Structure 1
Amino acid sequence: MDIAVSDIERARSIPLDKIDVSAPDLYLRDAAHPYFARLRNEAPVHYCRESLYGPYWSVTKFNDIVEIDTNHKVFSSDASVGSFVLDDTTLNPVEGGIYLPNFLGMDPPKHDIHRQTVSPIVAPQNLANLEGLIRQRTRGVLDGLPVGVPFNWVDRVSIELTTMMLATLFDFPFDERRKLTRWSDVVTTRPGDGVVDSWEQRNQELYECAAYFQRLWAERAAAAPRPDLISMLAHSPAMRTMSPEEFLGTLALLIVGGNDTTRNSMSGGVLAHHLFPAEWSRVKADRALIPNMVSEIIRWQTPIAHMRRTALADFEFRGQHIRKGDKVVMWYLSGNRDDSVIDRPFDFVADRPRARHHLSFGFGIHRCLGNRLAELQLRILWEEVFERFSAIEVVGTPVRIPSNLVRGYADLPVVVHA
């Protein structure tokens, strides 16, 4: 953790009621940690009155986050009462945005019906069927990397591998697969964050996404059922009558869900090994540690920094009075650094005991649907990396994205050594 002294000092001195851990600049600079540390110690359930997103509660300790995440009867994800992210504008028609309803923004029973429709794509047998293809593609990407020459790991490896996987899950035209990456970035941003310049541009690109997938939907609906996500939706009695908004919202969720967690963990793992080189040597000497190391990468990176709920009723929680309608933000990034639950939480420890006991996939009914697929992709990547390279050297400052939702990278300059 390389945080400027000014952030550490400010986190200690700022009045508690003025702390706003939602500020995107904190994530661009990776400077949120000292503010979270103070909240965990002094105000683990903290009310921020003023922010870019309005007032909200922050829940910052591991066990408290699990309790909120598993209590969907009081803390709702339903888009009709709010949203499942802090920034309402990215999913609701606020300030010119588009309404993007999807099953992550639903409560039971509708949530369960929609989730079950697409869950076969990540069933154990289907993952087993995909493993050979994932390994073949991973080998191809790694074998094509320039040895001893700087390049951007994010673009050459992380984006390429996750976009290939997305194209397979959707049975999307393979030569146009980078459209999926672009649409994922557009969904999770607001104008001014460096992806789109205006709400009009954002809306136009999302409408283009909807039109493209509508053509695929029509083709799949007219054909026999196939084991891809669009065909599953088109042939589901519960889903084939979706409104255009629900269709686009569901697409947005599936694209982002299949992209951001894996993509940014692929990059975060490289940075972790760079900062903790002894762990590279440990795993290279004992490849049996790779599955455990993958879980530790996902915890250490925490590719989704938060999820948000809306209180359906007044509720007393840890001595704080949360009112009906209040935004309640579960900061997974903070919970994954809670030293009351995780020993040495800022360290990357490849053989960490119970490494899979982390918050990065969430808990409860909204636990990440594709968590096993993400782990499979990461395991194969690192198995193949250790076969080929003696080191992956980070040769410049990582460029992060200014998002309090997706904790990710735009550029990670590296050199690989044969």
Structure 2
Amino acid sequence: MDIDLVDQDFYWRNGAPYDQLGWLRANTPVYLHDGDAERGWPGFWAITKHADVVHVSRRSDLFSSSRKLALFNEVPEEQRELQRLMMLNQDPPEHTRRRSLVNRGFTPRMMGALEQRIRDLCNQLVDEAKGLPSVDFVRDIAAPLPLYVICELLGAPVEDRDKIFKWSNEMIGAEDPDYAADPAEGTNAAMEVYAYANALAAERRQRPREDIVTKLIMPDAAGETLTEEEFDMFVLLLVVAGNETTRNAASGGMLALFENPEQWQRLVDEPALARTAADEIVRWVSPVNLFRRTATTDTVIGGQEIKEDDKVVVFYSSANRDEDVFANPESFDIGRDPNPHIGFGGGGAHFCLGNHLAKLELRVLFEVLAERLPNLAQAGPARRLRSNFINGIKDLPVTLT
């Protein structure tokens, strides 16, 4: 079988290359993938089995997020220095210090307090959609929800959601013709997010509030605090990770329900299934397709020798359909329980900080949709994002009745 797991045009047309990933799991689960000299990509090890992805994720000492960063593309060293201020691109112990500071804004109590607000927002989005001449599920429901929640967390005006949406699209969609004409637009969007973060922090120092910004700019019990650059990078990560993952899980989940109408009917008949449906949606969609690590020493994965500085890429889309872990992995089952998916990462230092919030948003959204829009139907083809990093959907036309 011809293997190309990073062809963005394939993802654009078809979604993740599940046939190739399935073949690799069965035949060469730790696979030396060809590079692309024209684009500056070296060859890399593609990790496709659930157990191996978990192993790489949990061993930051062997597989670094910092040495050459966590995203797939190669970045010059002078740019890496700035990117290492972001938790995504750090290893313990620096990552541990930063995460302990940021955790103050994501306590279970704070997340629980958001549930009613999220339910109100979901009902508001349904009410607004009912008044539109045509409805796109991404634009009108899936995208606004996490943006509203980000504004809620930051204590930012809700009218800022449109520019946050634009910045996120330009940073993540740099390879998609609808979002960015050239990579410079993504860089400019990041600069605008930094400036926005600085303005928020300055305002909260003058007028503290009960929000995540105030918590993060104040010293903790030990007197530790985030530097200005660290805070800017946190806001950047929140704008992208807190928006893209939930938006694309919701959109991909709705598409899966349209393609499996018996599952939609189950949810309509029993909206409480939204609790397990949220996890199954994350497993099925795998909003983040891959992350990169760099081997810090000679080691072994799945019996395959890996050399120091080798590029190692974990594929969550593959791990979440591993036949050794999931019964009938190619079936979308909203009642699947247990569901040991790794759509929020394979554990370890980089397990998704906002996983409880993302599942809360998905659960409440699909409860509201099942209760209020039982006849929701697809009205046109879904259009996918041109990206091998995010399994994204840009458009999903729907009818509400």
Asked if these proteins are the same fold (TM beyond 0.5), I'd say: yes
Report the 3-state secondary structure (helix = DSSP H, G, I; strand = E; otherwise coil) of the residue aligned with 2:46: strand
Q: Is the 8 A contact 1:90 1:187 kept in 2?
A: no
Structure 1 residue 71 displacement after superposition: 0.9
**Cα deviation code 1:9-59 (max 9, x no counterpart):** xxx3x2xxxx22012112112151111111111110011131343221110
Q: How many residues align?
A: 393
Report the 3-state secondary structure (helix = DSSP H, G, I; strand = E; otherwise coil) of the residue aligned with 2:9: helix
Aligned to 2:329: 345
Taking the TM superposition and a 5 Å limit, the aligned residue runs for 1:20-31 are 20-29=4-13, 30=15
Q: Distance in 2 between matches of 1:379 and 1:201?
A: 34
**Cα deviation code 1:34-87 (max 9, x no counterpart):** 111111111100111313432211100111111111111101112xx1111112
Aligned to 1:306: 290
Aligned to 1:118: 102
Q: Aligned in 2, Cα 1:31/1:174: closer, same or farther, shift over 3 Å?
A: closer
In angstroms, what is the RMSD of aligned CA positions?
Answer: 2.2
**Cα deviation code 1:110-157 (max 9, x no counterpart):** 111211222233211112211111111111111222389642100000
Q: Is the 8 A contact 1:113 1:238 kept in 2?
A: no
Q: Aligned in 2, Cα 1:215/1:149: closer, same or farther, shift over 3 Å?
A: closer
Deviates more, 1:210-219 or 1:270-279: 210-219
Q: Is the 8 A contact 1:336 1:359 kept in 2?
A: yes
Aligned to 1:4: none
1:38 aligns with 2:26: no
Q: Aligned in 2, Cα 1:192/1:130: closer, same or farther, shift over 3 Å?
A: closer
Aligned to 2:214: 231
Aligned residues: percent identity? 32
Q: Distance in 1 between matches of 2:285 and 2:226?
A: 37
Report the 3-state secondary structure (helix = DSSP H, G, I; strand = E; otherwise coil) of the residue aligned with 2:68: coil
Q: Distance in 1 between matches of 2:12 and 2:112?
A: 37
Taking the TM superposition and a 5 Å limit, the aligned residue runs for 1:140-151 are 140-146=124-130, 150-151=134-135
Q: Distance in 2 between matches of 1:72 and 1:169?
A: 29
Q: Distance in 1 between matches of 2:322 and 2:233?
A: 33
1:75 aligns with 2:63: yes
Q: Aligned in 2, Cα 1:100/1:25: closer, same or farther, shift over 3 Å?
A: farther
Structure 1 residue 256 displacement after superposition: 1.4
Give me the TM-score of the superposition, normalised by structure 2.
0.92
Q: Distance in 2 between matches of 1:40 and 1:271?
A: 26
Aligned to 1:322: 306
Structure 1 residue 322 displacement after superposition: 1.1
Give me the TM-score of the superposition, normalised by structure 1.
0.88
Aligned to 2:52: 64
Aligned to 1:55: 43
Q: Distance in 1 between matches of 2:309 and 2:78?
A: 16
Q: Give the gaps of 5 or more residues in structure 2.
A: none
Q: Aligned in 2, Cα 1:165/1:48: closer, same or farther, shift over 3 Å?
A: same
Q: Distance in 2 between matches of 1:115 and 1:209?
A: 20
Which residue of 278, 282, 294 maps to 1:294? 278
Which amino acid in 2 is paired with 1:63? A
1:88 aligns with 2:74: yes
Report the 3-state secondary structure (helix = DSSP H, G, I; strand = E; otherwise coil) of the residue aligned with 1:288: helix
Q: Distance in 1 between matches of 2:127 and 2:84?
A: 39
Structure 1 residue 240 displacement after superposition: 3.6
Aligned to 1:367: 351
